[in-house]
């Protein structure tokens, strides 16, 4: 009975849709839109100007035409939209008309917009006139920003005169003047248009007014730290010459402070002279917070984290935190103390005590240690850091049947680490190059059990091909220099393979491995032992499917890599490759990712073949990966 009750509304909806479809059967559908005569702007651009649209492939297959019915009133409005678009961009004589063509099926129509662009407005002279002393003019004209603006602004001689670009030109010169120390500059643009020849003469009048210097700071908002703590984080002092760039960096610096959730720096109403008052508005986070998160993945299965933060220790703006993180691979507990201002607003220091328990296929690690890092933000897209770490470690073999160099190893590590970060952009979606080099020096003064040096490099490139397609590529490499006779512990060696590495292999399984046996001496499987050098790469084509399925995407990838015992043995183990694809779902917590990788050139160890006998299965060539977040 319940099934019948549920079926009736569905049947009613289906009948309603069928009736609506039949009612629309006689209405014409815009099947295709094209443009003719558009030389200045591509059809893709003009389609964004008009209101009329045609169905995409998905809608054509499912016959979803409701939003694409032919409306001649709207077409006439589209003609006006196209004409205004051209006129504002320097084509005063543009004319547009449309025609409707029949296709084989009578309901389907092609709409063609015929455009006659006409002669554009041409800038034949462009002069910059200063209302200032010669010394001020020389200073402004000698600045690199001004020289670049003269060569690139949209109202220079020979360019098409586009009225819509006037705010951009004014804003460009105003920004230059502000960065030169003038808080109250004026830029006025006048243009004389000869309607017969379509020639335009442009004059840009620049009035810098007087240079200004910060003399007072006003603070609005409930501040739990002394004013000096906030002001020093701006890196602006009384007497500092005004600059728009300084104001922007100061606001960004305050906003990046862990205590403040909102920050603005503005210039309130005041006399426009050489003195300057800045107004800082702030809003703080709660002083104490507790955060918890949970996630799932193919490798860790379930992972969770609980963190407690005190954001303002004794009114200093320092932060203290405690964190517990656990999964089926690693459990970690730590405390950290952050000093956000070390010697200037761009520098910070964080010191942490931690304990770690980690389970790997080859070994079990117990670790306790201290880490202290000095971080310096060179710019928004460049960061450098130096850190020191001292750890006590104990490694245990997880399988007595595995012929490891030692069953149990206790050792300490004392190392300095230098690292850097560079990114082409600062947007949430990565674009361009991302480069992360690092170097580690252990036991430099023979204060630890193992003396080695590590060099690592991670280079990524994100190239948008279309609005919905991106090619992402990554190359990672690392080498360890080590001359002692003892074997390096597993925690220091390189491993590769897994969800965020070379897919097709499971976590850390690509590279040298040794057989494992049970108590009776029977073969069980291979366990990885890592090495002193590694190289891997990933190439991935990411395609959004939002026009077909909201929030979904797909990816095709080619991965490759290898781990070697040392640099000399690189010829003994060629690169191995994995190929595959996956789907992405853009959830509120990040992209949920499922990938399937296939091993192109596996070894006997990868397929679990021992002494010619196959102990593997059909799935030995595949790696299935599930995680939250992109692979890189």
Domain with residue 526: its CATH number is: 2.40.160.50
In a domain, 32, yes or no: yes
CA–CA distances in Å: residue 185 to residues 117, 171, 275, 370: 38, 11, 14, 53
CB neighbours of 523 closer than 8 A, spacing ≥ 6? 515, 516, 517, 610, 611, 613, 615
Angstrom distance (rounded) from CA 378 to CA 315: 27
Angstrom distance (rounded) from CA 245 to CA 254: 14
Residue/partner pairs of 482-487 with CB below 8 Å, 24 or more apart: 482/450, 482/451, 482/452, 482/453, 482/532, 483/451, 484/450, 484/451, 486/450, 487/405, 487/406
User: Is residue 498 domain-shared with residue 586, that is, in the same domain?
Assistant: yes
User: Is residue 390 domain-shared with residue 249, that is, in the same domain?
Assistant: no
489 in helix, strand or coil?
coil
In a domain, 592, yes or no: yes
Angstrom distance (rounded) from CA 11 to CA 8: 5
User: Is residue 568 domain-shared with residue 425, that is, in the same domain?
Assistant: yes
Check residue 257 and give its pLDDT. 92
Angstrom distance (rounded) from CA 265 to CA 535: 47
User: Is residue 201 domain-shared with residue 234, that is, in the same domain?
Assistant: no
Residue/partner pairs of 137-143 with CB below 8 Å, 24 or more apart: 139/180, 140/176, 140/177, 140/180, 140/206, 140/208, 143/176, 143/180
User: Is residue 522 domain-shared with residue 574, that is, in the same domain?
Assistant: yes
CB neighbours of 541 closer than 8 A, spacing ≥ 6? 469, 470, 471, 472, 555, 556, 557
Cross-strand bridge partners of residue 153: none
Torsion sign (Cα): 399, 401, 405, 407: positive
Angstrom distance (rounded) from CA 382 to CA 155: 34
Angstrom distance (rounded) from CA 455 to CA 460: 17
Check residue 242 and give its pLDDT. 95
Query: Are 600 and 576 in contact, with CB atoms under 8 Å apart?
Result: yes
Check residue 145 and give its pLDDT. 93
How confident is the chain (632 residues) per 10-residue block, as mean pLDDT?
34 36 65 94 94 86 84 95 96 95 89 95 95 93 93 94 95 94 95 93 95 94 91 90 92 92 92 93 94 85 93 93 94 96 92 95 91 94 96 80 58 96 82 94 90 96 91 96 87 92 92 86 88 96 86 94 87 92 86 92 92 88 88 84
User: Is residue 128 domain-shared with residue 250, that is, in the same domain?
Assistant: no
Query: Are 512 and 497 in contact, with CB atoms under 8 Å apart?
Result: no
Last residue within a domain, chosen from 82, 116, 150? 116
Rg of the chain over CA atoms, in angstroms? 33
Residue 378 phi/psi, 5-degree rounding, is: -65, -45
Query: Are 631 and 541 in contact, with CB atoms under 8 Å apart?
Result: no
DSSP string computed for 612-632: TEE---GGGGEEEEEEES---
CA–CA distances in Å: residue 262 to residues 227, 253, 269: 16, 11, 22
CA–CA distances in Å: residue 489 to residues 289, 307, 476, 528: 39, 31, 22, 13
User: Is residue 241 domain-shared with residue 183, that is, in the same domain?
Assistant: no
Query: Are 92 and 118 in contact, with CB atoms under 8 Å apart?
Result: yes
CB neighbours of 12 closer than 8 A, spacing ≥ 6? none
CA–CA distances in Å: residue 246 to residues 73, 262, 263: 52, 18, 15
Check residue 630 and give its pLDDT. 83
User: Is residue 238 domain-shared with residue 384, that is, in the same domain?
Assistant: no
User: Is residue 143 domain-shared with residue 262, that is, in the same domain?
Assistant: no
In a domain, 38, yes or no: yes
Tell me which residue range forms the domain holding 111: 27-116
Check residue 20 and give its pLDDT. 39
In a domain, 8, yes or no: no
Query: Are 142 and 219 in contact, with CB atoms under 8 Å apart?
Result: no
**E runs forming strands in 469-512:** 469-482
Check residue 399 and give its pLDDT. 58
Of 401, 148, 576, 581, residue with least CA distance to 156: 148
In a domain, 309, yes or no: no
User: Is residue 375 domain-shared with residue 460, that is, in the same domain?
Assistant: yes
**E runs forming strands in 252-406:** 260-266, 275-284, 288-297, 301-313, 318-327, 330-339, 347-359, 363-379, 382-397
Residue 145 phi/psi, 5-degree rounding, is: -60, -40
Give me the CATH number covering residue 87.
3.10.20.310
In a domain, 85, yes or no: yes
User: Domain count of the chain?
Assistant: 4
What stretch of H or E contains 67? none
User: Is residue 508 domain-shared with residue 550, that is, in the same domain?
Assistant: yes
How many angstroms from the chain centroid is the CA of residue 569? 37
Of 491, 492, 521, 497, residue with least CA distance to 510: 497
User: Is residue 473 domain-shared with residue 578, that is, in the same domain?
Assistant: yes
Check residue 524 and give its pLDDT. 86
Last residue within a domain, chosen from 239, 263, 284? 284
Tokens linked to 513: 């491995």
CA–CA distances in Å: residue 259 to residues 164, 253, 254, 328: 41, 12, 9, 33
Angstrom distance (rounded) from CA 381 to CA 475: 20
Query: Are 628 and 591 in contact, with CB atoms under 8 Å apart?
Result: yes
In a domain, 14, yes or no: no
Residues written for the chain: 632
Question: Which letter does DSSP use for residue 210 in this model?
Answer: -
**E runs forming strands in 545-619:** 552-564, 576-587, 590-599, 609-610, 613-614
Q: Which position has the token pair 């206790």?
A: 410
Tokens linked to 304: 């969770």
In a domain, 303, yes or no: no
Say how many C-beta atoms besides its own lie within 10 A of residue 245's C-beta.
11
Last residue within a domain, chosen from 269, 284, 299? 284
């Amino acid at each position: 009975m319940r099934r019948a009750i549920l079926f009736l509304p569905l049947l009613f909806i289906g009948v309603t849709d069928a009736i609506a479809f039949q009612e629309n059967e006689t209405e014409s559908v815009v099947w295709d839109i094209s443009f003719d005569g558009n030389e200045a702007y591509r059809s893709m651009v003009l389609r964004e100007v008009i209101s009329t649209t045609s169905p995409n492939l998905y809608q054509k297959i499912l016959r979803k035409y409701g939003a694409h019915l032919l409306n001649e009133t709207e077409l006439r409005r589209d003609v006006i939209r196209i004409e205004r678009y051209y006129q504002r961009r320097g084509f005063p004589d543009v004319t547009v008309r449309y025609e409707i063509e029949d296709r084989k099926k009578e309901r389907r129509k092609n709409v063609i917009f015929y455009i006659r662009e006409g002669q554009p407005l041409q800038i034949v002279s462009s002069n910059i006139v200063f209302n200032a002393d010669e010394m001020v003019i020389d200073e402004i004209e000698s600045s690199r920003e001004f020289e670049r603006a003269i060569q690139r602004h949209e109202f220079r001689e020979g360019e098409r005169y586009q009225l819509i670009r006037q705010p951009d030109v004014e804003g460009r010169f105003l920004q230059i003047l502000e960065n030169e120390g003038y808080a109250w500059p004026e830029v006025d643009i006048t243009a004389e248009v000869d309607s017969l020849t379509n020639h335009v003469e442009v004059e840009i009048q620049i009035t810098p007014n007087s240079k200004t210097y910060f003399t007072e700071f006003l603070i609005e908002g409930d501040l739990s730290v002394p004013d000096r703590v906030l002001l020093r984080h701006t890196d602006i002092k009384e007497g500092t010459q005004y600059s728009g760039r300084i104001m922007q960096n100061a606001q960004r610096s305050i906003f990046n402070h862990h205590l403040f959730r909102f920050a603005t720096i503005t210039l309130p109403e005041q006399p426009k002279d050489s003195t300057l008052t800045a107004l800082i508005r702030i809003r703080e986070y709660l002083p104490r917070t507790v955060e918890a998160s949970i996630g799932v993945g193919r490798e860790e299965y379930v992972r969770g984290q609980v963190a407690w933060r005190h954001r303002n220790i004794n009114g200093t703006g320092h932060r203290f935190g405690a964190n517990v993180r656990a999964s089926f691979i690693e459990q970690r507990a730590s405390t950290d103390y952050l000093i956000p201002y070390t010697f200037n607003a761009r520098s910070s220091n964080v010191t942490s005590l931690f304990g770690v328990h980690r389970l790997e296929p080859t070994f079990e690690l117990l670790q306790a240690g201290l880490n202290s890092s000095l971080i310096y933000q060179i710019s928004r897209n460049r960061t450098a850091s130096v850190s020191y770490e001292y750890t006590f470690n104990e490694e245990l073999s997880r399988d007595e049947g595995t012929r490891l160099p030692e069953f149990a190893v206790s050792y300490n590590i004392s190392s300095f680490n230098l690292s850097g970060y560079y990114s082409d952009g600062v947007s949430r979606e990565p674009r361009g190059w991302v480069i992360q080099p690092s170097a580690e020096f252990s036991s430099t003064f023979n204060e630890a059990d193992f003396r080695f040096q590590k060099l690592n490099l991670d280079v990524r490139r994100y190239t948008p091909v279309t609005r919905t397609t991106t090619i992402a590529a990554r190359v990672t490499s690392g080498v360890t220099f080590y001359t002692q006779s003892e074997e390096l512990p597993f925690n220091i060696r390189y491993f590769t393979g897994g969800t965020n590495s070379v897919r097709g292999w499971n976590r850390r399984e690509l590279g040298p491995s040794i057989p494992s046996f049970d108590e009776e001496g029977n073969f069980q499987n291979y366990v990885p032992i890592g090495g002193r050098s590694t190289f891997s790469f990933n190439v991935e084509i990411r395609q959004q499917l939002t026009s077909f399925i909201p929030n979904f995407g797909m990816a095709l990838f080619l991965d490759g890599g290898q781990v070697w015992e040392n640099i000399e043995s690189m010829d003994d183990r060629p690169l191995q490759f994995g190929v595959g694809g996956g789907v992405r779902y853009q959830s509120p917590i990040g992209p949920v990712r499922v990938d399937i990788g296939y091993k192109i050139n596996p070894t006997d160890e990868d397929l679990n073949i021992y002494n010619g006998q196959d102990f593997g299965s059909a799935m030995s060539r595949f790696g299935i990966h599930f995680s939250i977040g992109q692979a890189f």
